[in-house]
Amino acid sequence: MADRYLNFTGTAPGRFLTRRFGLPQPAPLRRWSAEHPSLDGPLLHLSAGTSTLKGLDEVLARTGLKPSTGLKPSTGQADAEKPAAVVLDATGVTDLGALAEVHAALHPVVRSVAPCGRIVVLGSAPSDTDHHQAAVQQGLEGFVRSLGKELGRGRTATLLRTDSATAAESTLRFLLSPKSAYVSGQVIETTEAAAASGGAASASDPARPLAGRTALVTGAARGIGASVAETLARDGAHVVLLDIPSAQSDLVRLADRLGGTALPLDITADDAGARMAASLPDGLDVLVHNAGITRDRKLANMPAERWSSVLEVNLAAVLRTTDALLAAGALNRGGRIVATASIAGIAGNVGQTNYAAAKAGIIGLVRSLAPRALAEHGVTVNAVAPGFIETKMTAAVPLVIREAGRRMNSLAQGGLPVDVAETTAWFAAPDSGGVNGQVVRVCGQSLLGA
């Protein structure tokens, strides 16, 4: 369903009325397309404290954005001259004096970032032994989350904690591209140790990083799952599309269009994991757990069947099939598991105690399994947590609730299925081995939750 309010605010009367009454002013987001794969404008590289990262300049040069040379940002610049992105290296911030340099670096330029631009702050993991360093590095989290809520005009802010520019490269490419349009206010961590264990490797064809790899997507017949399958196929993967047998016609149609394989299967079946493994004679490189259902009702009015059916599909089946595939050795070394959580699992939602419990369970699964799967199988485990995404499901939500869902985030609009798909594709990439145990919200920085 079209966002009529977003379209209206792009007109002269819409701009006048929203300013007059202090209403949200969403900006159309710049998303990836084959014709426009990069942001427009230069990259401004700043620093605070003494950098701990070697080779950062070389990594940033490979993002596709041209470094700024002699740029003097000002609010009077034409958009084409404004920085498309600002990267502030604050990995060496260890005390309050250095933290003040974060303000000094960004204060003069923050207004000049182009519409739909990016601000990425690089930080370090808070120390267990130096409480001064821990305090100021944790301070960067509050700083970035607040900055994301201030920027407006489709601009985003993210904190990336890392100990290695190389391990952070795939994440920087994602965050500094149109693919991250609906990701803001997030804290992401990459490590050199995870990259070494997770089979991080540069793709032979950057435009098709998943070429030669097999990806299985559950719940793939429609909605977010279909978009994930399309995006992974765009990136070169052979996609195996799994959904319930009653969706077989849609599943086959999409698989044929993508050159993939349809696998009609009830993921809650006791032998689902074994059947998935049997359908993958050459193993699996990317496993995307997307299948899910809702059966909303307040707990006082929720019968046991509504509770158990949601927990069975959204959590129990994920646990069983993941365990079965790992035990069977079906996931190749350097493989990726990406599960779908939800901001409901982080912030809760009225009428969704069952759904929120299941999605919070996904977060627990990721945090517990990620280090063990990496150590034992060379496989990374991460999760996307969508917010309000424009699908047929949300189109059926009553108007007032739907509009609240769209506006209650820093970008003042709903996301699209492709926003979840692009984040999934970043997790799935061969060179994302440094990203493990992360739960990234794709919610436009929802005002609900952390």
- Inform me whether the pLDDT recorded for 204 exceeds 50: yes
This prediction has a pTM of 0.94
Least confident of 117-131, 155-169, 263-277, 435-449: 435-449
Least confident of 6-20, 60-74, 236-250, 288-302: 60-74
Domain assignment present for 98 = yes
Are the C-beta atoms of residues 433 and 373 closer than 8 Å to each other? no
Residue 443 is given by DSSP the state: S
Considering the chain, what is the average pLDDT of its residues?
A: 93
Check whether residue 51 and residue 10 sit in a common domain: no
Check whether residue 360 and residue 410 sit in a common domain: yes
Average pLDDT (223-228) is 97
Question: Last residue of a domain, which of 135, 164, 193?
Answer: 193
Q: What DSSP element (H or E) covers 311?
A: helix 304-311
pLDDT in tens, 184-196: 999 999 999 888 8
Average pLDDT (173-189) is 98
In this prediction, residue 22 carries a pLDDT of: 86
- Inform me whether the pLDDT recorded for 320 exceeds 60: yes
Please name the residues in contact with 91: beta carbons below 8 A apart, sequence gap of 6 or more: 49, 51, 52, 53, 122, 123, 124, 162, 163
Check whether residue 159 and residue 212 sit in a common domain: no
Check whether residue 237 and residue 253 sit in a common domain: yes
- Inform me whether the pLDDT recorded for 448 exceeds 80: no
Domain assignment present for 61 = yes
Domain assignment present for 160 = yes
Sign of CA pseudo-dihedral 186, 192, 193, 194:
positive
Check whether residue 151 and residue 2 sit in a common domain: no
Domain assignment present for 224 = yes
Check whether residue 35 and residue 14 sit in a common domain: no
Check whether residue 295 and residue 367 sit in a common domain: yes
Check whether residue 99 and residue 183 sit in a common domain: yes
Are the C-beta atoms of residues 78 and 36 closer than 8 Å to each other? no
Average pLDDT (365-380) is 97
Average pLDDT (351-360) is 97
Average pLDDT (108-121) is 97
pLDDT in tens, 83-96: 999 999 999 999 99
Average pLDDT (308-315) is 98
Band (74; pLDDT cuts 50, 70, 90) = very low
- Inform me whether the pLDDT recorded for 200 exceeds 70: no
Check whether residue 12 and residue 39 sit in a common domain: no
5 assigned to active site: no
Domain assignment present for 143 = yes
Domain assignment present for 112 = yes
Check whether residue 94 and residue 111 sit in a common domain: yes
Find the domain containing 385 and state its range.
207-442
Check whether residue 187 and residue 294 sit in a common domain: no
Question: Last residue of a domain, which of 129, 159, 193?
Answer: 193
Q: Tell me the range of 7-21, 196-210, 329-343 where mean pLDDT is highest.
A: 329-343
What is the Cα Rg of the chain in Å? 22
- Inform me whether the pLDDT recorded for 78 exceeds 60: no
Band (339; pLDDT cuts 50, 70, 90) = very high
- Inform me whether the pLDDT recorded for 77 exceeds 80: no
Average pLDDT (379-384) is 98
Catalytic residue among 32, 182, 307, 355: 355
Domain count, the chain: 3
Please name the residues in contact with 373: beta carbons below 8 A apart, sequence gap of 6 or more: 326, 337, 379, 380, 381
In this prediction, residue 75 carries a pLDDT of: 46
Domain assignment present for 280 = yes
In this prediction, residue 402 carries a pLDDT of: 83
What CATH number is given to the structural domain containing 238?
Answer: 3.40.50.720
Q: Which residues pair with 446 in a beta bridge?
A: 409
Question: Last residue of a domain, which of 145, 169, 193?
Answer: 193
Check whether residue 57 and residue 159 sit in a common domain: yes
pLDDT in tens, 248-288: 999 999 999 999 999 999 999 999 999 999 999 999 999 99
Domain assignment present for 449 = no
Band (198; pLDDT cuts 50, 70, 90) = confident
Band (375; pLDDT cuts 50, 70, 90) = very high
Q: In this structure, what is the dihedral angle of CA atoms 5, 7, 13, 14, given to the nearest 10 degrees?
A: 40
